[in-house]
Amino acid sequence: MIHEISRFKNLAKIKNGHYTLHIMGVIQIITPKSSVLAEEPLSRTKQVISAKDFAAEAHVPIQVYHNNGVVGYSKITAQNFAYESDTTAFLRKIDTLWLYGKWNNLSLPGWNGYIERLSSNSMDFSISRILFLPFIPQPASVYNTIYTTLLCALENAKRYGHDVCIVTFDQPLYTEAREIVAAAPDGSDLSKIVIRLGGFNLLSSFSGAVGYIMQGNGIKEVLSLIYVPNSLGKMLTGHAYVRAVRVHTLLHLTLATIISRELLIDDYMDANLQNTIEDVKNNTISYNDIENCDEKTEALLYQCNKKLKQYVGRGSTGKLWIQYFHMVSIAKEFIRAERMGGWRAHLNCVKEMIPYFHAPGHFPYAKSTYLYLQDMLQLKNLIDPSVFRTFIQGFLTVRHSAKFNYGTSTDMITEKSLMKSMQTDGVNWFGRLVVKGVGSGVRALSILCPSKTDEVTLVVIGIGGSGWR
């Protein structure tokens, strides 16, 4: 069971200027969804509930945080991580086969569709259930708010018989939440909370680091041939996440096409590789078949890695673009790990990302990622062994559909569930409630409604056959 914590604020105009309402939003992710405990039945009321009583029902008491004199991360001892000099470790057989198909203009789908086709027969996964918890109407960055949120998450975990719960934050809140847990007395309930760093925001920051490192080296001029130049700024900074992934994937493929011209592929090897690609298109070969025992793609991967090393030795320009190739390979491997629930691949990517956060000055992410990796490497010592086994077997990601390759990062699922449910025709209904009135009853209605009406919404959508939200 994982809790995802998000913060957002609503700015609504009223007669006296602006009214800003800061909210801490919490969703509870339970895998498998069959493990969800039934809520107590609601009794039908025959009278209108007063605003005062309704506000009392939605109120989450704020707990005051005391750190007992512990300063920052003073109780945490940093560890050293060993890095290898190999810059091609994240290029897999699966990747080289897809690149080879693109080199030869074979009718292969895009990268995501290609991975989905290979993993379409994989059924060893569980669908998650997402529950909305009551909002906490307090500024998210305040220690009291984060402390209260952690206690609420721990209380929900105990309902399911867990002594340890996993809570995900984005980077600004991660630092404060991790500080609170680090300062907790050893053996206390609070010290058993595991804090995770959101993968979606982590990848966005890494994408910005890639754009910063490559600026002034011709990347903007190349991409201007495809995209409007004024739109490239947000792509290269990682703010336009989807377009940034698309841009780097295209350029990664272009570099691979240039490299392929120098590979030594005879007719026999070419015929075997094309037969494998036909098997992929006909769904007669799986992801694991290629990765574990396909000698043809292994020979192709060996040649690619060898050629990449040769380009590094040809000068500074070649070394720079091979480094870019390596960075995009890390990003693609990270996305694959998040989608397929690859725990070890996830940690390997996080480890490789850390040095690149320093170049653009993303020091908060560099620090948080380092601490996050250190904590996750010790996770097996913190939680029950059986829970840890299920976690590393794919439960770290959130699947809301019956497809293996459709896993979603826990912080991204907030946008797909909580934020989406709060909008109608592109307008935030939460803002409408605040504009109409900011009394305690109206505010309580907007805070309590998502967590109470979510189950009804899912049932109605299921009857209508419209799919998941």
pLDDT tens-place string over residues 258-296: 988 888 888 898 899 999 999 888 888 888 888 887 788
- The pLDDT assigned to 440 comes to 53
Confidence of residue 453 (pLDDT cuts 50, 70, 90): low
Q: Is residue 281 part of a domain?
A: yes
DSSP-derived pairing of the beta strands 129-136 and 423-424: unpaired
Last residue of a domain, one of 363, 394, 415: 363
How far, in Å, CA of 416 to CA of 468, rounded? 10
Q: What digits encode the pLDDT tens for the residues 395-446?
A: 778 887 777 777 888 887 776 666 665 554 444 445 444 444 445 555 565 5
- The pLDDT assigned to 214 comes to 92
Query: Taking the CB of residue 3, how many other CB atoms lie within 10 A of it?
Result: 25
Question: Both 334 and 292 in a single domain?
Answer: yes
Question: Both 60 and 154 in a single domain?
Answer: yes
Question: Both 161 and 301 in a single domain?
Answer: no
Is the distance from CB of 249 to CB of 335 less than 8 angstroms? Answer: no
Question: Both 210 and 358 in a single domain?
Answer: yes
- The pLDDT assigned to 323 comes to 92
Q: Residue 164: is its pLDDT beyond 70? A: yes
How far, in Å, CA of 101 to CA of 279, rounded? 12
Q: Is residue 89 part of a domain?
A: no
Question: Both 209 and 286 in a single domain?
Answer: yes
Confidence of residue 18 (pLDDT cuts 50, 70, 90): low
Taking alpha carbons only, the member of 442, 450, 390 closest to residue 420 is: 450
Q: Mean pLDDT check: name the lowest of 82-96, 109-123, 275-289, 452-466.
A: 452-466
Q: What is the mean pLDDT of the chain?
A: 80
Residues of the chain with pLDDT > 70, as a percent, come to: 78
- The pLDDT assigned to 117 comes to 87
Q: Residue 27: is its pLDDT beyond 50? A: yes
Question: Both 341 and 389 in a single domain?
Answer: no
Question: Both 3 and 70 in a single domain?
Answer: yes
Q: Is residue 460 part of a domain?
A: no
Q: What digits encode the pLDDT tens for the residues 39-52?
A: 666 677 777 777 66
Report CA dihedral (182, 186, 192, 196) to the nearest 10 degrees.
20
Question: Both 169 and 36 in a single domain?
Answer: yes
Using CB atoms within 10 A of its CB, is residue 27 exposed (0-12), middle (13-18) or buried (19+)?
buried
Please enumerate in sequence order all residues whose Cβ is within 8 A of that of 166, keeping only pairs 6 or more positions apart, or say none: 1, 2, 3, 193, 194, 196
Question: CA dist 407 to 340, 411, 415, Å?
Answer: 6, 12, 14
Question: Both 308 and 392 in a single domain?
Answer: no
Taking alpha carbons only, the member of 198, 199, 206, 156 closest to residue 177 is: 198
Q: Is residue 468 part of a domain?
A: no
pLDDT, mean of residues 107-122: 85
Q: Mean pLDDT check: name the lowest of 24-28, 365-369, 464-468.
A: 464-468
Q: Is residue 462 part of a domain?
A: no
Q: Residue 370: is its pLDDT beyond 90? A: yes
Question: Both 217 and 234 in a single domain?
Answer: yes
Q: Residue 94: is its pLDDT beyond 50? A: yes
- Angle made by CA atoms 108, 113, 119, in degrees to the nearest 5: 105
Last residue of a domain, one of 333, 363, 393: 363
Residue that the structure tokens 């010592």 belong to = 381
Dihedrals phi, psi of 12, to nearest 5 degrees:
-120, 135
Dihedrals phi, psi of 62, to nearest 5 degrees:
-80, 125
Q: Which pair of tokens denotes residue 67?
A: 């750190």
Q: Is residue 399 part of a domain?
A: yes
- The pLDDT assigned to 437 comes to 45
Q: Residue 58: is its pLDDT beyond 80? A: no
Question: Both 238 and 169 in a single domain?
Answer: no
Q: Residue 8: is its pLDDT beyond 50? A: no
- Cis peptide bond upstream of 32, omega within 30: yes
Please enumerate in sequence order all residues whose Cβ is within 8 A of that of 187, keeping only pairs 6 or more positions apart, or say none: none
- The pLDDT assigned to 418 comes to 65
Q: Residue 109: is its pLDDT beyond 70? A: yes
Who has greater pLDDT, 220 or 79? Answer: 220
Question: Both 150 and 6 in a single domain?
Answer: yes
Rounded (10°) angle between helices 199-214 and 241-260: 50
Residue that the structure tokens 């060898």 belong to = 306
SS3 325: helix
Taking alpha carbons only, the member of 30, 16, 9 closest to residue 142 is: 9
The domain total for the chain is 2
Is the distance from CB of 469 to CB of 417 less than 8 angstroms? Answer: yes
Q: What digits encode the pLDDT tens for the residues 248-260?
A: 999 999 999 998 8
Q: What digits encode the pLDDT tens for the residues 306-348?
A: 888 888 888 888 899 999 999 999 999 999 998 888 899 999 9
Q: Is residue 457 part of a domain?
A: no
SS3 125: coil
How far, in Å, CA of 132 to CA of 417, rounded? 9
How far, in Å, CA of 399 to CA of 124, rounded? 12
Which range marks the domain in which residue 26 is found? 1-82+125-192+384-448
Q: Is residue 373 part of a domain?
A: no
Q: Residue 374: is its pLDDT beyond 90? A: yes
Q: What is the pTM of this model?
A: 0.84
